[in-house]
Structure 1
Amino acid sequence: MRVQAFMFYGCAVFFLATDIVYWLWSGDWTGTTALALSIGLAGLIGFYIHFTVRRLEKANDGPLYEDDPEGDIADAAGELGFFSPHSWWPLFLGLSAATVALGVIFGWWMVLLGAAAVIMSSIGLVFEYYRGHFAH
Structure 2
Amino acid sequence: MKVEALLFGGVAVFFGGSAALYGFWSADPAGTAALVVAFAMAALVSFFCAMHYRRKGRRPQDRTDAEVADNTGPLEFFPAQSPWPVITALGFAVACTGVVYGLWLFLIGVGVLARGVLGMTFQYAARGADQEE
TM-score, length-normalised on structure 1? 0.67
Corresponding residue of 2:45:
45
Q: 1:128 to 1:10 in 2, by over 3 A?
A: closer
Letter of the 1:4 counterpart: E
Structure 1: runs of 5+ lacking an equivalent? 58-62, 132-136
Overall identity of the aligned pairs, in %: 32
Structure 2: runs of 5+ lacking an equivalent? 127-133
Letter of the 2:45 counterpart: I
Q: Number of paired residues?
A: 125
Corresponding residue of 2:113:
118
User: How far is 1:94 from its partner?
Assistant: 0.6
Is 1:77–2:76 an aligned residue pair?
A: no
Q: 1:8 to 1:111 in 2, by over 3 A?
A: same
Q: 1:40 to 1:87 in 2, by over 3 A?
A: closer
Please give the alpha-carbon distance, in whole angstroms, between the structure 1 residues aligned to 2:100 and 2:81.
32
User: How far is 1:117 from its partner?
Assistant: 2.2
Choose 1 or 2 for highest CA Rg: 1
Q: 1:48 to 1:129 in 2, by over 3 A?
A: closer
User: How far is 1:17 from its partner?
Assistant: 5.1
1:81 aligned counterpart, secondary structure: coil
1:86 aligned counterpart, secondary structure: coil
Corresponding residue of 1:27:
26
Regions of 4+ moved over 6 Å? none
User: How far is 1:104 from its partner?
Assistant: 0.8
CA RMSD after TM alignment? 3.1
TM-score, length-normalised on structure 2? 0.68
Please give the alpha-carbon distance, in whole angstroms, between the structure 2 residues aligned to 1:81 and 1:120.
25
